[in-house]
Structures are given as structure tokens and as C-alpha cells.
Amino acid sequence: MKKSTLFAAIAAAFAVQAGNPLGLTEYQQSFTVDFKSEQEAQAAQIAPRKLPEKYTAAFTSRWDDSNKKHFNTHKVMSKYGAKGTFYLGGDMKKDNSFLRGLTENGCSLGSHTAHHHRIKFMYANTHFYEYMANRIAIEVGFQVPVNTQASPYGNSKGYKKSGTRSIGKSIMATGIIGSCDSTSPEHIKRWGFPENSCAFVYRISPGDRVPSMKKMESDLKKHLSNPDFDKNPALAMSVHSWHTPAGLVILDEIYKKLTSHKDWWNCNQNEYAAYRYEFLNTTVKKEVTGKSVKFTVLRFEPFELGADVPLYFDITNAQAVSAAGVELADGGKQLKAAHSAGHALPEKYGYLKLDKVELKLSVSESDGKMTAEIVNRSGKDLSNVSYIFRKPPMYGKLVERVYGKSVAHNAKVTIPAGKIVEKDEFFHVGKPYYAVQVDYILDGKRQRLYADCFGSERKTSGKHINEKMLFFQVGAKFPDGAKLSVPGASLAGLKPLTDIEYISIPGTIFAGKTFYFGVVDIESPADKSVKVALSIDKNSKMYLNGKELKRAKSAVIELKKGRNRLAVVGNKGLQLFDPKESLQYAAPEVK
């Protein structure tokens, strides 16, 4: 068989046999290993190790929120060589640059949603925006990859089954391959992730303020004695960096003890998730020539994995004496395979524009096709170009990849809309959000450029309270909510937020120092009492038909037959969720 024919056969075999549940971009890596005899070469097999070197467990850390106190935790971790991931919330407008130092000493950053709201009460289009926009913001703002997520308040489930499915689909569409929300295979299955596609960790949670050594030891013992731990051997300290001065002393003692386990791999969660995906899904082919074996493995691009981690292989049935293209380890019983040259993480990340390269995404109003347009004014060709289109959870195929060779000046790639498989109205409320990620090499350096856009708002029944609520930015001085909540009251002088300011997504307003005022008209078929669930902060106020209501996480509102007006005001985490009753909602006119 000719060499070209042989590799064509190998590629065909890979296409059938390779495990790649999320369809990440693959490449072939070959290396040669020599053995003492032809018999050993024939007998030799290699298989990915579940962890690097001889480690028996992965040890990492998970700390949530955009919090300056992370630096106290980071200092303790760095003292003992511990690594972990800090999960930050934020959108494209928010400046989190003061947290850049958290990426030092081997730590990474992860997604914690754009606005840190309770996503279990949000609709599907909101879910995807929250995760995807946050990933873009972190990668561009901090120039680091993101491949793991943590949901605010641990909201891994929606308030109904479709919500849980939507959260999972949104995380998959975002490109996440690791989640510290998930602490068992059941969490991953509930989201709908395919098998072998999303890594999870067993959490050690001794306390966020004054941690308890006893609680740490109890959690640790529980996890290590779990019969399934060997299948998913990862531990993570967690959850918030709120430690008091006395608590930091105990935290120091805890990290000292946990890092004393020399058979544990100290890693961040990017590294663990990337390694885990390769371990579970990399496939191997061998070709023997005398005492030498050429191994060809099908593995995954680091820019898709979110970390550049060498993959270790165990050698069985033989002992290697030398190797080319890979390092021998453990006296010839292991191989350490770094990624091949040219296969690396992006060195730069951009949003819409980067080094004289511009990117635009649009969605056709008539047929839903997505089009990515590149304008290259750099004067140099873009090579190894890959387009990754990311779509909202209503679609069956959430991610589509298109590969190109080069872009000299301009390029345009259009993909079909794809099949919408979700019939539940939950997936269609508000404007759908889309994103495209383009990875390429410019002047020898791998780069990534993002663009995003909103599609048209799909027609729904109008029974969703958040879909119809109209929001205004009002400043720190509250408007006269009682007056403006009278049905038919003029809203002249108030300027509604634009799509970009409010992202045209129900149930969400920006957190921050600025206050926002929301109004919705409710048409009730009769006088009735309705229970409304709220996510509020201490500055929130709610009004109905000219009267202020008592602030609470849930409230019973007394609707009258005909037109009613509900108004809310607040500056953080203000959301209003659908009551169970069937009502009609409408955005009030602004004249």
C-alpha cells in the first residue's frame, strides 16, 4: 500500500472510530517509538493516561464572583503552588482589569455569566447570551482562554425541565467542556451533554468566611471513599473568597495540608477539562517497521480545548528505549506528548476588530442564514482559518464549523439557518442571540476574533411578563413609581433602553450603580389574586395600579378586571417572573 493510501485509510478509520462528542477541531499527530526487539514493537500498545505522570488525583480550586478578596485567596494558593480557576461575571462594557493578576502563577479564569442573575428563572435566549457574552468578555478583556463555567447561585437547574435543558444547551453552544456546578455524572446528563464531553469536579467546601479544617477533612474523606472517584478523579476547593483575617489563617493551613499530597496533580480547571476531554476521546493507530512503531493519534486543537496541556500515554506489553517527536517518561513506560508545533492557544483575542482585521456577523431576516464577513486590512494573509458559529438553544445543531485555507483581503462565509427543534415557547421568548468565533494565524501568531448579533424577535403568545416589560435607565433618583404605575399614565420623558443596552432579553437588567425602572401592562379577565416571584435587592421597589407593594421574594398582587400596570425599580438583580396564571402582557406606549 502506498504511503498516501495508507494515511487515507488511517484518516478514514479515525473518522469512524474517533470519539469526539462535541465535534471539536481535530488534528493528527505522529511520533516514533523504538523498542528492544521486533516482537516488543509488535506487542506494544499505548493508551492515554487518565492523569499526567503518576498522579492519582487532580487538585484544583474554584472561586466565584468578580471580587477583590480573590487576591487574598490567590496569595495563599500561590504560597503552596496550588492552582485554580476564578469565575468572573461581566459583560463587554464592564472593566474588570483590576482582576488581571488572578491569572498569575498558573491560575485561569472561567465564565460566571454576564450579569450574575438567577438563571433558573430566565428564558432560553437569555441563557445563551449570559454564558456566551461572558466568555467573549473574559477572553477579550483578559486575553486568556475560557473553557469552564460556574452558574450564579449554583443554578444548574431551570424552574422547569425545559429551563434545565436550555441551560445545558446554552453551555454547550458556548464551547464549555468543564463545569464546577456539576458534582456528579447526573448533572451532566441532566443538561444533555453527550458522554465523555464535560468534566466535573468533587467540591471541598469548608466555609467561605471562617473555613473549618474538620469540614474540609470530612469532604475529602467522603470524596476519596466514593467508589466512582477513580472514574472522575478531581477535587476542588471552593466556593467564595470571603474569608475573614482569622479565616485566611485556617485557609493557609488547609492549602498546606492539601498540597502535601505529592501524588496529586496541581492544576487549574482549564487544564483539567482539556486533559479530560483528550483522555476520554483521543484515538491511536500504530504502524510497525522492525523495532520501531509509528503511532498516529487523533487529538484536539488547543484553541478548542482551552488549554495547552501535554497528553500522557501508558505503554503496555513492552518498554520503550527511545522516541522521536515525543518524550519518554517513567523509564520508558510512559510517553509525554506535547501538542505539535503550530497547534497552540491564541496569543491574542479580539471583539469585532483586531490588528486591522474586522469581523461582522449577521442573520438573514428572511431565512435565518448566518453570515460572517472578514475584512483583512493587515496587509498579510490569514491562514488556517476556522469559523465556529454558535447558535441559541432552539436549534438542533448548536455549533457549526467551517474551515478555510486563507484570507488575503476579504471573505464571506454563510451557513444555513439549521433546524429549529425546540417547540416549547420557552425557547422563543425575546430576541435570539448569535455569535461567531474565527480562529486564524496572522504573521505566525494564532489569534481569535469574535462577533455577535441578535436575530428577530419571534412571535409568541404574549403571555410572558418579562418579554413585555419595558425598561428605562433612571439614575439614582427614583421616579414616582406610584404615579407611573397608574394604567395609562404618561411615560413621556423616560428613554427606553436600546437593544444593546438592555440586550433585548427578558428578565435581565444590568447590575451596577445605575437604577432602572421597568413597566408592564397586564390585562386580566377578572378580578383575581396572582402570586409573582421576584429576584430583588435591598433597593428594589414594586408598584401596582398606583400603590407601592411590600418588597418580598414573592408577592401576591391583586389584579382588577381589565388593564393593570405593574412597575419595578432597582439597581441590581431585579427580575420579575411569570405567574402560573394565564394573563396577557403588553409593553406600554411611550409618548
CATH number at 374 reads: 2.60.40.10
Q: Is residue 271 part of a domain?
A: no
Largest CA distance in the chain: 90
Residues 183 and 223 in one domain: yes
Say yes or no: 435 and 331 in one domain.
no
Task: Answer whether residue 434 is part of any domain.
Answer: yes
Per-residue pLDDT of the chain (591 residues; tens, 9 = 90+): 333 333 333 333 333 334 899 999 999 999 999 999 999 999 999 999 999 999 999 999 999 998 899 999 999 999 999 999 999 986 656 677 788 999 999 999 999 998 777 788 788 998 999 999 999 999 999 999 999 999 888 888 887 789 999 999 999 999 999 998 767 778 888 999 999 999 999 999 999 999 999 999 999 999 999 999 999 999 999 999 999 999 999 999 999 999 999 999 999 999 999 999 999 999 999 999 999 999 999 999 999 999 999 999 999 999 999 999 999 999 999 999 999 999 999 999 999 999 999 999 999 988 889 999 999 999 999 999 999 999 999 999 999 999 988 999 999 999 999 999 999 988 998 889 999 999 999 999 999 999 999 998 777 776 777 667 787 877 666 678 899 999 999 998 887 775 545 443 333 434 445 667 889 999 999 999 988 766 566 667 889 999 998 877 677 889 999 999 998 887 654 556 667 677 888 888 887
CA gap 5, 19 in Å, rounded: 23
Whether the CB-CB separation of 562 and 523 falls below 8 Å is answered with yes
**Are residue 98 and residue 39 in the same domain, yes or no?**
no
56: which DSSP letter? S
Give first-to-last CA distance, the chain, whole Å. 78
In a domain, 492, yes or no: yes
Q: Are residues 231 and 218 in the same domain?
A: yes
Residue 480 sits in a domain whose CATH number is 2.60.120
Residue 238 and residue 135 share a domain: yes
Asked whether residue 449 falls in the same domain as residue 307, the answer is: no
Q: Are residues 206 and 75 in the same domain?
A: yes
Sign of the CA dihedral running 148, 154, 155, 161? positive
User: Do 577 and 469 fall within a single domain?
Assistant: yes
Enclosing domain of residue 18: 3-52+276-337
Angle between helix axes 70-79 and 245-258 (nearest 10 degrees) is: 30
Last residue of a domain, one of 202, 232, 262: 262
Grid look-up 472578514 returns 374
Residues 525 and 538 in one domain: yes
- Prior bond of 569 cis (ω within 30°): no
Which one of 404, 433, 454 terminates a domain? Answer: 454
Per the domain annotation, does 343 fall within a domain? Answer: no
Count of domains for the chain: 4
Q: Is residue 591 part of a domain?
A: no
Domain end, chosen from 229, 262, 295, is at 262
Same domain, 83 and 165: yes
Residues 449 and 574 placed together within one structural domain of the fold: no
CA 108 to centroid of chain Cα atoms: 13
The position carrying cell 466514593 is 226
323, 34 contact by CB (below 8 A): yes
Q: Are residues 432 and 307 in the same domain?
A: no
pTM above 0.75, yes or no: yes
Q: Which residue has the cell 439597581?
A: 571
